[in-house]
Copies of this chain bind each other. A is one copy, B any other.
């Protein structure tokens, strides 16, 4: 029973966050406080607090006396985030594999298949995200999980652009790596899973870095 966020600033933050993640607010878009305030039938105060929150999550860029924009990443920043993920996500997976329940593993296997059968870009993105984040679920490192989720959020728009660019045919490497990863998870092979995940993220980073047309 947590359905309704009590604070107005929290509601505004969540709505803006979703708008950014779904792409209805594109990177670089300006966010005017009064517009948002009017849209949510509130004053600018909660809007400002929401913007601060989103800035700390890396989704928004604030410039004093100037305004707020949906965060725009250049290639170097994307690469940096991927390199950090290469260190953090294997740790989360390594901590989690030993504690995943059989039900967890069955769910992950189902997601691997669902990902392969998801032609739609947004379905693919959502399922891929679910697969990875749920594979870390039993890690019992809440701060680490929060950091990882923030990275996925800030990268979301660029993942979408990249996914559109490579098309469904370009996903075979992803599918293959997911299968290998899934096998390691089923074997409870902690080190194997960590290493496969590291390589998975690294390959994606390298391909993303070559796609200069995204930025």
Contacts and interface: CB of A to CB of B under 8 A. Distances in A.
Contact of A80 (B65, B80, B88, B142): B142
**Interface SS of A by simple majority:** helix
A75 to B, nearest CB: 14
Given A6-B65, A84-B143, A87-B87, 13 more contacts: A6-B64, A48-B49, A52-B53, A55-B56, A56-B56, A56-B57, A80-B142, A80-B144, A84-B91, A87-B88, A87-B91, A88-B88, A147-B147
Interface in A83-140: 83-84, 87-88, 91
B48 A80 contact: no
How many copies of this chain? 2
A199 interface: no
Given A80-B143, A87-B88, A143-B81, A7 B49 contact: no
Nearest to A50: B52
A77 interface: yes
28 contacts: A6-B64, A6-B65, A7-B64, A10-B64, A45-B45, A48-B49, A49-B49, A49-B52, A52-B52, A52-B53, A53-B56, A56-B56, A77-B143, A80-B141, A81-B143, A83-B91, A83-B141, A83-B144, A84-B88, A84-B91, A84-B141, A84-B143, A84-B147, A87-B87, A87-B88, A87-B91, A88-B88, A147-B147
Interface residues of A, number: 26
Nearest to A154: B143
Interface of A: 6-7, 10, 45, 48-49, 52-53, 55-57, 64-65, 77, 80-81, 83-84, 87-88, 91, 141-144, 147
Nearest to A49: B52
Nearest to A65: B6
Contacts of A81: 143
Contacts of A147: 84, 147
A170 to B, nearest CB: 28
Contacts of A142: 80
